[in-house]
Amino acid sequence: MKLTNDGWLHRDEQLVVFFGHRQIDRAQLQELFPELQWATLEQVHSPTVIVADPTQERRGDAHFTNSSRLGLIIKTADCLPVMLASDRGQVAAIHAGWRGVTTDIVTNAVRHLLRLTEKAPLRAWIGPHIQWESFEVGEDVLDLLRHAFLRASPQGQFETICKLHPRDPKKRFVNLTAIVRAQLQAHDVMIVDEVTADTKTTPTLASYRRDGQSAGRNLSFIARL
């Protein structure tokens, strides 16, 4: 992906994928991409996948469409924005926080697109999110993440994507990205690109763990052209 002053951009003849910095709002998105309309979600950390609707903000954490020039927006502040594109024209945008990861929002969206497209190949782009050096969890969340990882990769070694906390033996740092990668790869989704910037330590990106309620949000989208 190409890094610009506004964020990370992939554009070709069929698609545009964009992961924005924290200062980019809806009005600026419209200025940057005047040819597009927009659909957003009321994100609730759920496993729910819905049809994108530009006329209303429906509740869910992934939406999809085969309409052209409709940008599917996802708002994040440490969670993973994951964009999917099928060779048959369907695209989807996923909001994957740790709660969504543990309830298989990524897997659900992938399976939905595979059903719609008769298992046509899928590609994925992963946007900026909290990296494992910053993502510390307690034992309860750790157990949920372990189960999510092993559902996607039954032969995987969960211990290889965890690190001990230097001060609290009841906590671990977890590579959330590795779990999402495993969920995608379990369905042969090709990961085209991944932004490795850590939202918590990158000032130009919104981070709830760093800034709490004042964090703002990073806006990302995928659209067919």
Burial (CB < 10 A; 0-12, 13-18, 19+), residue 24, is buried
98 lies in a domain? yes
Q: Is residue 34 part of a domain?
A: yes
DSSP 200: T
Give the pLDDT of residue 57: 95
Domain membership of residue 59 (yes or no) is yes
The answer as to whether 209 is a domain residue is yes
pLDDT for 126: 98
For residues 215 and 145, give the distance between their C-alpha atoms in angstroms, rounded to a whole number.
Answer: 25
**Distance from C-alpha of 70 to C-alpha of 88, rounded to nearest angstrom:** 16
Helix (H, G, I), strand (E, B) or coil at 49: strand
201 domain-assigned: yes
Residue 216 has a pLDDT of 93
Q: Flag whether the pTM goes above 0.85.
A: yes
The answer as to whether 193 is a domain residue is yes
Instruction: Return the CATH number at 220.
Output: 3.60.140.10
Alpha-carbon gap, residue 223 to 225, rounded angstroms: 6
Q: Which domain holds residue 92?
A: 2-131+188-224
Burial of 35 (0-12, 13-18, 19+ CB in 10 A): exposed
Specify if 164 maps to a domain: no
Residue 128 near residue 212, CB atoms below 8 Å: no
Model pLDDT, residue 123 = 98
Cα angle at 122 between 39 and 54, to 5 degrees?
10
Using only the alpha carbons of the chain, give its radius of gyration. Answer: 17
| In-domain check, residue 166 | no
- The DSSP letter of residue 5 is S
The number of domains in the chain is 1
Please list the ranges in the chain whose pLDDT falls under 50. none
Distance, in Å, from the CA atom of 129 to the CA atom of 97, rounded to the nearest integer, reads 9
pLDDT of residue 166: 87
